[in-house]
Each structure stands twice: as structure tokens, then as C-alpha cells.
Amino acid sequence: MDQHCVSIIIPVYNGAKTIIESLDSLLKQDYIEKNYNSVEIIIINDNSTDNSFSLVKDYFNDKTIKNIILSNKDNLGLAANYNKGIEISGGDYIITMHQDIILKNNALAQLVSAMDEETTQAAFHYVDHPREIWEKYNFWQKCLFSRLLDKRFYGLDGKFDLFRKSILIDVGMFDTATFRSAGEDGDIVKKIESVGILKQTEAGIIHIHDNNPNYSLKSYILKHAQLSEAQGALYRKHGITNIIELIRAFFRECLLLMLLVPYLRYISILLIFLYTFYYTKNVYIAEYKNPRIFFLPFINMSLLFVSLFYSVKGFATGKQNL
């Protein structure tokens, strides 16, 4: 295989707690040791309010690997930062990487080797969510990530994915007009699938997230609203190809709509009741002594209405703005 230049783009926003650990795992990759001069790291500070920017600059003071460190005057969001990095990148391969992941051994090599076939336009990773990390979260972070606990997911979501730079340019790069803080990954998948092949790899990462003791109920609700709005905007832009995809994407919303159908109403109530417990079942086990556990079913029920509202809003406006 011909030598390719790889540009790794890492947007950073208030990532002081995780970014150094993420960078350490990146620079320890065998691929970088063997191809040191053909890798560049582009870090874009997205107007952080913590000391992320200074940490990153200090980190690279004694590093000889090519690096570009930029700082935005305004908070632009993931899609805009990816595009900014692509525009200044020198690589023919582009990797998007999040600030809160740890790369497993040979993860970078796994991604790059997947591009041996010319028809492959992008390669994606798998992500693990270990229990030992989840147990360190506060109550509301545990709720948010409960369904991911001890599971492995394959997919292209921007956390650690590789693209041919040429295909990103051909499809118009990331859509900043539609997606601000969520949904840009699903959009780029749809666009690339229409012109080439996305390849699953065994590039493994661990998502450590920011263990934030101040993560609140408001944050929990906002995250659901963001994802639901992005989902609605995504389907407004690309359409729905089949009924199974529709039900899978809007399962929670469908439960609420079933309440309007007389013969399905009682089934819907039962399913809603079961869903509110299943969605955060791990929290009920781990936090059974926490008094907030008694309110959690009602909060989860309320989230169904939040999801419905913002899904409709995203579909109606065709934008993800939160």
C-alpha cells in the first residue's frame, strides 16, 4: 500500500478532564511510531471555558509530531470544527476523533488498513462502555448512559472514524447549516453511502466521557432534546426508506402516538411503563438507595414527550439548533 498522510482532527470543548488521556492513547499507537512523519494532529479549541487550550498547548511543547492547534472566538459545534480542520489539513485521509475516548492497541492501524480497497470511502470503529467507568458517574450521568453499560457498538459516529478527504469534499463535507451539536454523523453516513462503501473495522475505543459531578437533570433532558431534534432533522433531509427504519428511529414517539388509537391505548400504556424502567434498569440496581430513584420513572415518561416534541420540531424546521 502506498504511504498516505493522515490528518487527525480533534475538536475540544471543556475537555480538560479527558483530552490528555485521549492524546496519550493516540500517540502510543504503533502506527504513529512507524509512520511518524506522515501523521498530523489538528486540535481546535471550541471556545472552552476551562483550561483545555492551555493543557493541549503545554502537552505538545515537547512533542515533535506535526500538530496544529487553533482556538475559536465563538463556540461553533462539531460539524463546523470538522470542516475547519478538513480545510487546513494536509492529509489525504481524515480521521475525526472525540476528546473523551481511549484508543485500544492498533486502533489507528485498523482504520487505515481498511482503506486498502479503492472502493472503500470510510472506515469506522467499535466502542465499549465498561462498568468501571460508568460506576464513577453521578446519578444523572448514570441514567444517560445506562443503556450502553457493558455493551459494544459498531458504527460511524465521529468518535474515531476515517474518511478519504476527496469523498468528504465531493459530498460537501459536514452540514453546518442543518446540524450544530448532533446529527452530523448520521448525515455524513447517508451522503457517503450513496457514493461508496463504509467498512466496519476492529478499531476499538473506550468512551470515558467527562465524569462531571455537576451533571444535572437539566443536562439529562437537554441531551435527549438534542438527539431527538437531530433525528427529526436527519429524516427531513434524507427521508425514510422503510417502515422498519421509521419504527426503530421513532420507537419512543410511536409509543405516545399509540395512545391516540383506542384499541392500542392499553398496550401503549403497558409498553410505556415497561420502557421507563428498562431504559435505566442499571440505575435502579446501582442506585436503589438514592431517593431520586422514586421519581425516575416519571422523569423517563416525561422524556417521551420531550423526544416527541423535539423530533417533530427538527423535522418541521429541518434543523438541529440546540
Rounded to whole angstroms, the Cα distance separating 284 from 301 reads 15
Residue 273 pLDDT:
84
CA 171 to chain centre: 20
User: What does the alpha-carbon distance between residue 98 and residue 87 come to, in Å, rounded to a whole number?
Assistant: 18
Q: 9 CB contacts (<8 Å, ≥6 apart)?
A: 42, 44, 81, 82, 85, 86, 89, 94, 95, 96, 97
pLDDT digits (tens, 9 = 90+) for 238-264: 987 777 777 777 777 788 888 888 888
| Cell representation of residue 64 | 515533535
**Taking all residues of the chain, what is their mean pLDDT, rounded to a whole number?**
93
Q: How far apart are CA 51 and CA 84, in angstroms?
A: 22
The pTM of this model reads 0.91
Q: List helix spans (H) across the chain.
A: 19-27, 30-34, 52-59, 78-88, 107-113, 131-134, 139-145, 165-170, 184-193, 217-238, 243-249, 251-257, 265-278, 281-286, 296-317
pLDDT per residue as tens digits for the range 84-123:
999 999 999 999 999 999 999 999 999 999 998 888 999 9
Strand, coil or helix: 203:
strand
Instruction: Using the structure block, give the residue that is written with the C-alpha cell 457493558.
Output: 150
Residue 20 has a pLDDT of 97
125, containing H or E segment: strand 120-128
Radius of gyration of the chain (CA): 21
Kindly state the DSSP code that residue 320 receives in the 8-state scheme: B
Contact 103, 160 (CB under 8 A): yes
pLDDT attached to residue 1:
40
Give the residue ranges of the chain where pLDDT is below 70.
1-3
Q: What domains are there in the chain, each with its CATH number?
A: 6-207 (3.90.550.10), 217-317 (no CATH)
- In this structure, the number of other CB atoms found within 10 A of the CB of residue 124 comes to 24
Distance CA 24, CA 19 (A): 9
pLDDT of residue 2: 54
Residues in the chain, overall count: 322
